[in-house]
Structure 1
């Protein structure tokens, strides 16, 4: 049951807030609307990251053993790779590194990227 809970949390309680910030990071940094909007988006993202970090304290994975929930959450965390926000949280940063090193995560990422390759697109 915890696997499903964390799958939904990754996609509904964490991703929207991290994605909003990641999208803003792709906008012109000196535009007035990005300067005004960034603090609120970053604050909300940091709160979500803090919550996941707190859960991970003393745990290697979200639901006990490595699962699809960890693949989803790690994929969501990667939205902020252009920042240092995840790295501000020791447990969360170690978790992301640990998950990305897993063969199942690497395979899932490779399979996902392959869907968008020019060869796959022409098939």
Structure 2
């Protein structure tokens, strides 16, 4: 049985954005069932968990053949065995894999420079100047991505793949402050991906865990 390790509670701003959501979404797209292994923020620092995830994070994934960490690596593992997430043609698979890494390396760092500053350092004296620069770099990347998507529904292979799952997971962070609305091509693309039933099921599964959780004392 496939198992996904996830948190049993996170603060409101993180609910619906913890990266086990990517794995849940991939499993839903692939039509694969899984169980949850829920941990709290003390357990993530214990030797048992850190032997499975050296950086004290989630998700961790286990199936009959592997145990692994890092959400995108897990998504690619699932995709390799799923026609729903990866085309069969070798050249197309290579291109989809390239776009998976592009989502993480060419887009996500620029997104997190902006959203991370807004979430955790908004009141810092340096934040305003830094955000102006970070937004400029992000806008450059988003314009490049928008140009690629112009006239096509998905990144590669003419259909939804693991690359779109990862790219949409990154872009939806920009819905927090309306940035995506300045890029109509990307907004439409993101909404198309997020309207998939598999995403809705994955999101509902993550949120259901938090809805049942007790808020830790002192929070």
Q: TM-score range by the shorter chain?
A: 0.7 to 0.9
Contact 1:18/1:76 (8 A) holds in 2: yes
Say which of 107, 128, 133 aligns to 1:40. Answer: 133
Matched, 1:51 2:144: yes
Shift of residue 109 of structure 1?
Answer: 3.7
CA shift in 2, pair 1:107/1:38, >3 Å: same
1:1-123 counterparts in 2 under 5 A? 1-63=94-156, 64-110=158-204, 113=206, 117=210
Shift of residue 106 of structure 1?
Answer: 2.6
Flag the structure with more relative contact order, 1 or 2, with Cα contacts below 8 A and sequence separation at least 6: 1
* TM, length-normalised to structure 1: 0.84
Q: Distance in 2 between matches of 1:2 and 1:34?
A: 37
Would you say how many aligned residue pairs link Structure 1 and Structure 2? Answer: 119
CA shift in 2, pair 1:12/1:79, >3 Å: same
Corresponding residue SS for 1:32: coil
Q: Which of the two has higher C-alpha Rg?
A: 2
Q: Distance in 2 between matches of 1:28 and 1:10?
A: 24
Structure 2 unmatched runs, 5+: 1-93, 214-219
Structure 1 segments, 4+ long, off by >6 Å, are: none
* TM, length-normalised to structure 2: 0.49
Structure 1 unmatched runs, 5+: none
Q: Distance in 2 between matches of 1:103 and 1:118?
A: 21
CA RMSD in angstroms, aligned pairs only: 2.1
Corresponding residue SS for 2:146: helix
Range moving further from structure 2, 28-37 or 44-53: 28-37
Shift of residue 104 of structure 1?
Answer: 2.8
| Larger helix share, 1 or 2 | 1
| Larger strand share, 1 or 2 | 2
The residue number in structure 1 matching 2:40 is: none
